[in-house]
Chains A and B, each alone.
Chain A
């Protein structure tokens, strides 16, 4: 069983690496990481320069009131905080394409008919697919992690502390889970849907719901937190119903969970025990557990649908 799963996973990786779509996704992801690092470094440097100039002016004017460093309490990892937005908006969409493409190309081309004429079980096939997708996403995530690690070290001119590396690893691990969830949603509909357009359209609708609709009812009530992963500095007055709705829905809004945990991991300074990676996860445990549960449900759904898949089906509709 294990050898068949490995064979299918290896083939998944091999075929995707020879597809232009996947290469494009990989390139986009690397560019996103580089861009995020550049923007983070550029804005931090600009703010620091302005701050230094301000201090000079304040000192030369004879004032004793020195302004506070704008980066007090802000982690150096915040340089890459744009990655949160890129992953939650673009990374998840690219992950859907990876999952959708994984089985649908075999259904569309008719290769699935040959595959299922071989002595392999459906469960081996779907587990091999899931393993292959996870491996590919892991590869993308590790590449992005290494680029970020090297960039931050080069910018700061010193090697990151172990605590910051752990936070960075947890951020990328969370990003992997988040993208994996969307990939499996894509995979599920590539097995379940009766037409190729529906197989893509439904996951995209789910992506819109998770990324935009649900946050409208939760974090959007504090507009600055909708796209910005920064911690909420002030809250706006709302009716009791909206506040109640926000409290009820928040653990179910996986994009909010991702943004809040990632924001805390990258933004908050590592001093103080309340900002440790473990505490950040504990503080958002309900949302994190729901995200894992949703991933589990998507995996089970794909597994079950594959067991019921009719390999003799006529050509799938476009």
Chain B
């Protein structure tokens, strides 16, 4: 799912999801759409035009179109970008549920390190497209005992290699 996911604003959530479900190869998408919207706690909004949705609602429709064909792996690009605290919390719950409930492997890239510490099991740090660090979150926290949060860890991993604007 791309950052700032966009849809056909003049179509309803259901019409958008039906289109993307058909493109994903789902033959009779109606039941599947209902199932996914139920799972994302989004029932009741399917007949509203997407143009009337808030950013957080659009992100949930974005997740819906991405999981409608039950993928094993999900890539999320800055999923929390531009969301209010309630939207971030709701999205976090959805992502955790997808991993634990549907056993999806989720790759997520974000600049919000607080979200990483709340959601991820394994972290990787990219610097100019190069993977400079990768380990389980638990290991990382135990190795860098002196650092209180992920931001401090991030900065101390390789101060020389990381360019800080």
Query: Which A residues fall within an 8 A CB radius of B?
Result: 3-4, 7-8, 11, 14-15, 18-19, 109-111, 113-115, 117-120
Q: Which of B7, B15, B25, B65 contacts A119 (CB 8 A)?
A: B25
Docked complex Cα distance between A315 and B11 (Å): 22
Are B11's CB and A118's CB within 8 A? no
Closest residue on chain B to residue A11 by CB atoms: B19
CB within 8 Å: A-B pair count: 48
Distance from A258 Cβ to chain B, minimum over Cβ atoms (Å): 33
Contact A14:B6 (CB < 8 A) given known A7-B23, A115-B23? no
Docked complex Cα distance between A117 and B75 (Å): 11
Are A4's CB and B23's CB within 8 A? yes
- A110, A114, A115: which has the most chain B beta carbons within 10 Å? A114
B24 at the interface (CB under 8 A from A): yes
B136 at the interface (CB under 8 A from A): no
Are B10's CB and A114's CB within 8 A? no
Point out the residues of chain B lying under 8 angstroms from A117, CB to CB.
2
Main secondary structure of the interface of B (DSSP, over half): loop
Are A114's CB and B6's CB within 8 A? yes
Are B6's CB and A118's CB within 8 A? no
Docked complex Cα distance between A22 and B20 (Å): 23
Are A110's CB and B2's CB within 8 A? yes
Are B65's CB and A19's CB within 8 A? no
Point out the residues of chain B lying under 8 angstroms from A4, CB to CB.
22-23
Query: Which B residues fall within an 8 A CB radius of A?
Result: 1-2, 4-11, 15, 19-20, 22-25, 62, 65
Are B10's CB and A18's CB within 8 A? yes
Docked complex Cα distance between A111 and B1 (Å): 11
Distance from B61 Cβ to chain A, minimum over Cβ atoms (Å): 10
Q: Which of A8, A15, A110, A118 contacts B4 (CB 8 A)?
A: A110
Are A15's CB and B10's CB within 8 A? yes
Distance from A218 Cβ to chain B, minimum over Cβ atoms (Å): 42
Closest residue on chain A to residue B4 by CB atoms: A110
Are B6's CB and A7's CB within 8 A? no
Are B25's CB and A7's CB within 8 A? no
Docked complex Cα distance between A120 and B23 (Å): 7
Are B2's CB and A114's CB within 8 A? yes
Docked complex Cα distance between A4 and B20 (Å): 11
Are B6's CB and A110's CB within 8 A? yes
